[in-house]
Amino acid sequence: MQWKNETSITKFILLGFGNLNEFQILLFVLFLVMYVLTVAGNLLMIALVAYDQHLHTPMYFFLGNLSFLETCYTSVISPRLLAGFLVEDRTIFFRDSITQLFFFGASASIECFLLAVMAYDRYLAICNPLSYKVMMNFRVCLLLVSASWITGFSVSALVVGMVPQLNFCGPNEINNFFCDMVELLKLSCAKSPLTEMIILVCCSLIALIPFLFIIVSYVLILSAIQRIASFAGRQKAFSTCASHLLVVSLYYGTIIIMHMAPSADLSPGFHKTLSLMYTVATPMFNPIIYSLKNQEVKGAFRKVMMQNLGMI
């Protein structure tokens, strides 16, 4: 179809994995299982943090918020992804794409801030253990979490609010399984350099500033750990932040690879695979990582299981 400049489109087509026609049912089952595991794992983590008194600490308060966010994060993406495997019509109206983009951007932004807050928490716990309980009281924890959520939604509203200013006249095919900001900017037929620059700068800063804060925090943490005299003390101190460090590496590693590599060098299939990593796979892995690496979480889970079995 030949598009004319004066025509304004009202819906997009999410190509997703439509080129893999023979694997549609298999992919649907795979991603459905991943979605169920993600929701179940994160809700279980929230329940454990709320149930066990030993987990009523700042670190697990932040972890509970992260688990709740991951449930929301994957729920913004996965239902539309799953629907694409069952129906041939993969269109999404412009207003729905803006809504999805807003909540996706807010979730991604909040996760960056929460990961930075968790790094700050570990910094205080290891580098300032004597004043940790005073500096990281419940009021401070609530303030940090509230600031993360409010800032994330505010920045997403600012960035996504600029998208309607762009003119979309065709083509209307988004080569991804969700409304990606980069893909939307490519489809804009009337380029607005200032608007695009503001969007890209805001997105970059939201990811970069928390990441640099995390890097600085862990440099200070590792420096403090090296000053601990005993090997057992160093191992115990590092184990308290190993899970968080692994989650940060998984989340930011994927984003860095996708956005730092030249676009021309990334095939659409590889780009979508990387998108799957931080939108679908990472929310599923996070509760697993914290469960396997954290003795307190495993202890709380065993306690719940034993009590339930005792009731049976």
Residue 259's pLDDT is what? 66
pTM: 0.89
Q: Is pLDDT at 301 greater than 90 in this prediction?
A: no
Write down the pLDDT at residue 40.
93
Count CA atoms closer than 13 A to 230's CA, side-chain side: 4
Q: CA 288 to CA 284: how far, in whole Å?
A: 7
Average pLDDT over residues 274-292: 84
What is the per-residue pLDDT for 268? Answer: 67
Across the range 262-289, mean pLDDT stands at 77
CB atoms within 10 A of CB 132: 16
Which pLDDT value is given to residue 261?
57
Contact present, 182 and 195 (Cβ < 8 Å): no
What mean pLDDT is reported for the chain?
A: 84
What tens digit of pLDDT does each residue of 114-157 get? Answer: 999 999 999 999 999 889 999 999 999 999 999 999 999 999 99
Query: Residue 274 pLDDT more than 90?
Result: no
pLDDT in tens, 34-93: 999 999 999 999 998 888 888 889 999 999 999 999 999 999 999 988 988 888 778 888
Predicted pLDDT at 8: 67
* Cα–Cα distances in angstroms (integers) from residue 54 to residues 44, 115, 266, 294, in the given order: 16, 22, 46, 13
The C-alpha atoms of residue 30 and residue 33 are separated, in whole angstroms, by 5
For the cut 60, the answer to whether the pLDDT of residue 3 exceeds it is no
Return the biggest CA–CA distance within the chain: 72
Helix/strand/coil for 87: coil
Most confident among 26-30, 83-87, 234-238 (mean pLDDT): 26-30
Question: Judging by beta carbons within 10 Å of its beta carbon (0-12, 13-18, 19+), is residue 247 exposed, middle or buried?
Answer: buried
- Beta-sheet pairing, 91-93 with 173-174: unpaired
Query: Residue 4: is its pLDDT beyond 50?
Result: no
3-state class (DSSP) for residue 11: strand
The share of the chain scoring above pLDDT 70, in percent, equals 90
Asked whether the predicted pLDDT for residue 309 surpasses 70, the reply is no
